[in-house]
Structure 1
Amino acid sequence: MPLTHPAVLTGLLCIMMGFGQSGALRAEPVGVFLHGGGGRPLVALQRPDPDAGNTRAASLFVGQSGNSFFAPLPDRADDPVPRGLTPARFAAPMVGGTQVERLRHLIARAEAGPMGYDAVVYAAKIKTPRRPTAMTIQEIYTWIKATPGQHHAIGRYQFIPATLRRLVNKLGVDPNTRFSPAVQDRLADQLLLEAGLQSLMAGKLSRRDFMNNIAKIWAGLPNSTGKSHYSGYAGNKATMSWARFEREMAAIFPG
């Protein structure tokens, strides 16, 4: 059939425009978000428990070794869709991936340090038996239960036990799912949505207010006072200045 035949031209046009056989525009995975934060209230943020930070000076989810959410993003292979997250839900393109990835990277610099997705809070005397990304969420629960009386913040976003369990339950993630980079990002994305990310991107929440919101979640980030929201509690302090935080956020979310 010649390239000028109408059917061939129609097929080429569909491919160029990103349409599939059904004629529907394909939605490429960009943000991995499930639920909207928008007008929903920010999750109740309480003073941290003993797992909420390191004893040296980091953050609510930080490790003693300077762990921070804004460590350099480790190389990682693309993971399959985790069990418990269906492809349609896992790939829901609700916000721009590039901005969200940069935001996660900023948080990681304040929280997880060079270990990134395999960070375990420095103050934990008994570490995980294997790299966190090689463990299932259930195995992490088992480690937490088997090592009482110590800090357990874990992963690139230094999830404390109560937060980890709440997010896993909320998103319906199978505990037998591996604690992979993709899963950790997804859990962090839910926290960002709860802090008002969609409202920020829709122009309904100021950047400053959003920054104060996420500073209530990650103690390594400063709030507008220039200090950690949890300053003086369990050794927590901001790991970057407000001026730097504001400069980085303005670059990610201009306007």
Structure 2
Amino acid sequence: MDTLAHLVSLREHLLAQERHRHPLRLTKHGYKVYSQSDEDGIIAEIFRRIGTADRSFVEFGVHDGLECNTSWLLMNGWSGLWIDANEAACAAVRTTHRSWIESGALTMTNAFVTAENINPVIGAHYPRSREIDLLSVDVDYNDYWIWKAITDVRPRVVIIEYNATWLPPLSISVPYAPSAVHDGSNYFGASLNAFAKLGTEKGYDLVGCCLAGVNAFFVRRDLVQGRFLAPGSAEEHYEPPRYYLASLPAGHRSNIGPVVHV
């Protein structure tokens, strides 16, 4: 059996386990189009359950936009703001996503986000206290502190990368360091339990994690209403680091360009 077939088989085996059969658990809904692993499908299922407001988003840490959580949404008629610190990646987005930028559906901002500047950076695009459908946070280091600092938008759903090597019930984060970047090790970000506690403080319930153990999903508490598996605890929703599943392709290599809705 080749490597790809083995990974597909392993994923199917994992999803066949009793844990993932619960009708409210999100993992079985995962699929990948442009997301890192299977977040595209989980996002679709969350909004199927709660509905959308105006299909708006903010995502930072998008790199070139070919592997992020909102490219598929953009292709499905959503609109919003992307932020990335890599100038060359932003330039690539302005080419591959030119049609969405020119139509006003996408704003690409080149900025290194910190807890101190995140609200002004978002505020240049969205007015203060604006409700948006989705916020996706992936800066690979200060994620906890940046989400904690965000007050100028009110997302209905938040996706954030957690450090799956720090198992529940541990509730820890790296110390805040504005200029720090990920060094490729397992020293980054925060544990799932730390994010679950922060979510509670900010009015969100943890509703699931992707099977690869990369991203956690939070829904604003007033929208949960029995639609998701309770309790919203790290112990209930934790998925271990199965980063090898993130290498599963959606088919051909990722690329994007103008599309016509017919």
TM class by smaller structure: under 0.3
The structure richer in strand per residue is 2
Higher relative contact order (CA 8 A, sep 6+): 1
Larger radius of gyration: 1
Structure 1 length-normalised TM: 0.26
The structure richer in helix per residue is 1
Structure 2 length-normalised TM: 0.26
